[in-house]
Amino acid sequence: MSSSILSIGVQALNANQTALSYVGQNIANVNTEGYTRQTVQMSTQQPPVLGVEVTDIKRMTDMFMVRQVWADTSTFSSNEAYSQKIAQLDSLLVSDATSLSTSMDSYFASLQQVVDDPLFIANRELFLAEADSLANSFNSFDSKLRSQSDLVNTEIRSMVDSVNSITENIASLNVQIGKLEAAGQNSNSLQDERDLLVKQLSGYVTANVTSQDGVTYNVTMGTGQPLVIGNSAAKLDVRNSAADPTQIDIFMSNASGVEARVTNQLGSGAIGGLVQYRDNVLQPTISEIGRLAIVFSETMNQQHRKGMDLNGEMGQDLFAPIKTGQVTAHADNESKGVSTRVDFYNVEELTGSDYRFDVTGIDTYRVTRLSDGAKFNLDDMNVVTSSADLLAAEQAGNTPVYFEDTVNGTLQVSMDGMTFTLKGNKATGDSYLIQPTRTGAQLMDAELTNPKMLALASPLRVEPATSNSGNAEVTSITITNAEDTSPLRAGDAILPLEIVFNAPDATGQITYTVYDNRDPDNPVAMTGMENLPYTAGEPITFETDGYEVVLENQPEPGDRFTIEFNTDGYSDNSNALAMSDLQDKRLVNGFSYQDTYGQMLAKVGTQASNAEVAYTASRAVKISSEDALQSVAGVNLDEEAARLVQYQQAYSAAAQIISAYQTMFDSLISAVRS
């Protein structure tokens, strides 16, 4: 009886009704994100039984294409997050409203006005205002960079929360799908939901999916860290970095409580893109801006201190001195209460990089320059036996060099223009993050406010005697020591002096003798400065008092030049010229101020351009892979309309089979009754 016409008709009716239901389901979900088109699989009954049965409701998908979409989504999201952030930084660097190049141009333009008329108070006030404005520009730029850093950290925290929510849902769906499949029920809609969740997860991290039983998804991220295993989901947690509390790290803990730091193991995705931008672009830029601020303020201070102000006093600091950097002890260090600091012995050699100091063993240490990964073991460095020798090595440029005072437990390491000092117990495994320039722009500040205290003149002058017959002339007076301890600043310099040229010696060499002329009636030859050979253009150095004089051309025997305090020499603009000349000098590790900023701008601009290209390309690839998947798994309304007609007709035909059976049955009953 199972093969009767009625049975065949009922089977056909039910099968086509089911098919119509799923055609309707497809049409209803044509705009549902993540929905996969479903088709009804029918087959004939096994002989000798006749009829039809629904064997499966199939999701029309291609897992190769699905995985490709996941991978392309990760790449696209990473490029998108990175590109958006670096584009903001690029705009900040080039915008006239925020550009430090514009501020430095205004500063030097106002300085030139002071050079033209050093006695005009209004020019001096304008210059001080521009100096204050420049410091504020550095402060504001640094503040904007730090705000972006805080925003990146906030976005990472939010994304980590989203990842945790997604992985929990995937684990829950694994359970639900497993139960339905075990009961032989349809789980297609839940599988669609799970695939969509994996795609969303791919937007944050690289998601790799494996399935041993063809039902349950096991998800790993990046370098293979397990996020979802069956019904168990790992949890990501955001904490302040143990190495740098201003930054955050991402940790992962599984159901067993095992924790691992995974900040750099996330692969692609938006979180990875933000971490890459933060570590490789934003933080180095903060340090580079800080380096520029330190070098600018320190070199300007050094030159300003070499001048004389309107009160006849030596110049003071124009900007607030920035003498130290930042050192952070790793939170897991065994040694506590250790004293650390980083000072600058030559700001012109600063690199803008961060460094890591590691205690690698008993009395063994290593410094790693993080910008290029270069490692410096102290055993390979020059070693000195006293702080004085360390200072001498720094001044001579014989670095890297270190000094260890085992009695006081002090270690000093000098390299790249900085000196790192560590005092206290040192345990193997201890680590310190050295950030010499990180706070430079934040700390920059204009120190001088009184226009009369602008030291624009030279504190010294050299006057030729009116009786000179040679053509020798003074071309420069350079102050070589502007420290507070210098005799010139303390007012203890031996002045006036007189340079007297002697008759040529037996070889024809012109010589000179320098006399202490404080008592004009009894000049005294300076010790060690008698009958010295004269060479035009070579500096005559007065090392003790901290200055040097350069003469050009040839003097005649008996010619004299008097070196004295530049009393009442207020209209002298020589130090203002020297300050203005700093604009083009290569003071920032071999480059000028503007060149350094220009290099930074060009580097970020190139990175931003490359990021935009990568973003555009990955977007096109993602759209292409999604279109390819959609062509297989998506709902085509024209096709569904055709199937709708097809199944309607089949349903009507099946009904006709039942109707024919009814007619036949009625005829049979009538024949029996008659």
Q: How far apart are CA 507 and CA 71, in angstroms?
A: 84
Q: pLDDT: is 17 or 212 the higher one?
A: 17
Q: How far apart are CA 481 and CA 416, in angstroms?
A: 22
**Is the bond preceding 496 in cis, omega lying within 30 degrees of 0?**
yes
Residues of the chain above pLDDT 70, percent: 99
Q: Clarify whether residues 557 and 639 are in a common domain.
A: no
Residue 21: C-alpha distances to residues 18, 29, 39, 44, 188 (Å):
5, 12, 10, 20, 14
Domain for residue 264, yes or no?
Answer: no
Please, what is the average pLDDT of the chain?
Answer: 92
Sole residue written with tokens 């006293």: 386
Domain for residue 125, yes or no?
Answer: no
pLDDT of 2 strictly over 70: no
Q: How far apart are CA 117 and CA 110, in angstroms?
A: 11
Task: State which amino acid sits at residue 411.
Answer: L
Sole residue written with tokens 């930042």: 326
Domain for residue 54, yes or no?
Answer: yes
Residue 162: C-alpha distances to residues 169, 241, 251, 571 (Å):
11, 21, 15, 68
Segment 615-631, tens digit of pLDDT:
999 999 999 999 999 99
Give the domain-ending residue among 541, 565, 589: 565
Lowest mean pLDDT among 49-53, 192-196, 539-543: 49-53
Domain for residue 263, yes or no?
Answer: no
Domain for residue 280, yes or no?
Answer: no
Residue 130 class from Cβ within 10 Å (0-12 exposed, 13-18 middle, 19+ buried)? buried
Provide CB contacts within 8 A for 5, sequence distance 6+. Answer: 657, 660, 661, 664
Provide CB contacts within 8 A for 584, sequence distance 6+. Answer: 592
pLDDT of 336:
85
> What is the dihedral sign for C-alpha 664, 669, 672, 674?
negative
Mean pLDDT of 335-360: 94
Domain for residue 547, yes or no?
Answer: yes
Segment 432-442, tens digit of pLDDT:
999 999 999 99
Give the domain-ending residue among 565, 593, 610: 565
Segment 639-651, tens digit of pLDDT:
989 999 998 998 9
Domain for residue 543, yes or no?
Answer: yes
pLDDT of 566 strictly over 70: yes
pLDDT of 1:
43
Provide CB contacts within 8 A for 231, sequence distance 6+. Answer: 171, 172, 174, 175
pLDDT of 429:
94
Spatial CA neighbour of 376 closest among 352, 348, 357, 395: 357
User: With left for phi above 0 and alpha for psi between -120 and 50, is residue 609 left, alpha or beta?
Assistant: alpha
pLDDT of 674:
64
Q: What is the 3-state secondary structure (H, E, C) of 244-258?
A: CCCCEEEEEECCCCC
Lowest mean pLDDT among 88-97, 395-404, 665-674: 665-674
Q: Residue 257 — pLDDT band, cuts 50, 70, 90? A: confident
- Rounded to 5 degrees, what angle do the CA atoms 211, 215, 221 make? 35
pLDDT of 428:
93
pLDDT of 97:
86
Q: What is the CA radius of gyration of the chain?
A: 41
Mean pLDDT of 387-400: 91
Give the domain-ending residue among 528, 545, 565: 565
Q: What is the pTM of this model?
A: 0.89
Instruction: Please provide residue 614's backbone torsions phi and psi, each rounded to the nearest 5 degrees.
Output: -65, -40
What range defines the domain where residue 33 resides?
Answer: 5-60+634-673
Segment 405-417, tens digit of pLDDT:
988 889 999 999 9
The count of domains in the chain is 2
Spatial CA neighbour of 630 closest among 16, 87, 45, 31: 31
Residue 247: C-alpha distances to residues 154, 279, 612 (Å):
11, 10, 26
Longest dimension (CA), the chain: 167
Q: How far apart are CA 1 and CA 3, in angstroms?
A: 5
Domain for residue 424, yes or no?
Answer: no
